[in-house]
Amino acid sequence: MNHLPGKFVWFEHVSNDIAKARAFYQPLLNWHIEAMRMGDQTYHMIMNGNEGIGGFRTAPAGVPSHWASYLSVADVDQSFAAATNAGAKALLPPTDFKPVGRGATIADPTGAAVSLWKSANGDRADVEKPAIGDWFWNELWTPDAKAALAFYEKVFGYTHDSMDMGAQGSYYLLKGADGKMRGGLMQSTEPNAPPMWLPYVHVADCDASAALAKQLGAKNLVVPPTDIPNVGRFSVLVDPFGAAVAIIRGAAAA
């Protein structure tokens, strides 16, 4: 069993209509869904090929649909306490989700929600190139990049590299204790976007997937297909339910 603290290991579509969300994402990303029992509830697990990579769960009353990110930590209770002591807001206290693991959810000091997770079965291994349909990257959009960076470094032990993005300011690359790049952090350039972690899904053709998303009812392409030198071609979309997600064709994709 291998745990990789600092890695984002799971993503969930917290949905106001799971059936309609499935009808959008399954053809868009070639996912399939398997229903599994968790206590007295049914969990809709996202399968990419034969591997579980995330899920759909029902949003609490009044909570808009969104993608939730799960961050692997060595100890959920200790990380939760450290986060709240550093200014995070408690959204869900440490809780056992038998038999799969223990988790908690916070909103960081800039308002972005993130879940803390310790899997009972260990974390998925790192790969050099994510499969098509798998998660490629995770990126924090925040109204206060410096405050967010200080929080994540203090609480979760990240270090960072930075890239100058001109008028957009600095882009921060978060590195775990193992030296691996685990996510990005940037000052939000969308005035109406809430603070959020934005997951990226690897696709074979960014332009084709963006066009298909629009056909399937995506509300908006916040960022149309755009090249990032030496990284790939990406687009950011808002799904029919108001949740933001990014798609990317990695530079090395076949």
The string of pLDDT tens digits covering residues 164-217 is 887 778 999 999 999 999 999 999 977 778 999 999 999 999 999 999 999 999
Over the stretch 63-79, which tens digit does the pLDDT of each residue have? 999 999 999 999 999 99
**Beta carbons within 10 angstroms of residue 32's beta carbon:** 12
Residues 103 and 207 in one domain: no
Does residue 126 fall inside a structural domain? no
Same domain flag for 52 and 156: no
- CA 239 – CA 64 distance, rounded (Å): 12
List the domain range (segments joined by +) for residue 160. Answer: 135-250
For residue 118, give the amino acid letter: K
Q: What is the CATH number of the domain that holds 85?
A: 3.10.180.10
Q: How confident is the model at residue 252, as a pLDDT? A: 62
pTM of the entire predicted model: 0.95
Per-residue pLDDT of 214-254, as tens digits, reads 999 999 999 999 999 889 999 999 999 999 999 999 986 44
Q: Tell me: the pLDDT tens digits for 37-48? A: 877 778 999 999
Read off the amino acid at residue 115: S
Residue 103 counted as domain residue: yes
- Is 83:116 a contact under the CB 8 Å cutoff? yes
Domain end position, chosen among 119, 145, 169: 119
The pLDDT assigned to 206 comes to: 98
pLDDT, tens digit (0-9, with 9 covering 90-100), for 138-166: 999 999 999 999 999 999 999 999 998 87
Domain identity same for 161 and 242: yes
pLDDT of residue 64: 94
At residue 230, the pLDDT reads: 87
Q: Are residues 148 and 229 in the same domain?
A: yes
Alpha-carbon distance of 162 to 35, in angstroms, equals 41
How many domains, the chain?
2
For the chain, what's the residue count? 254
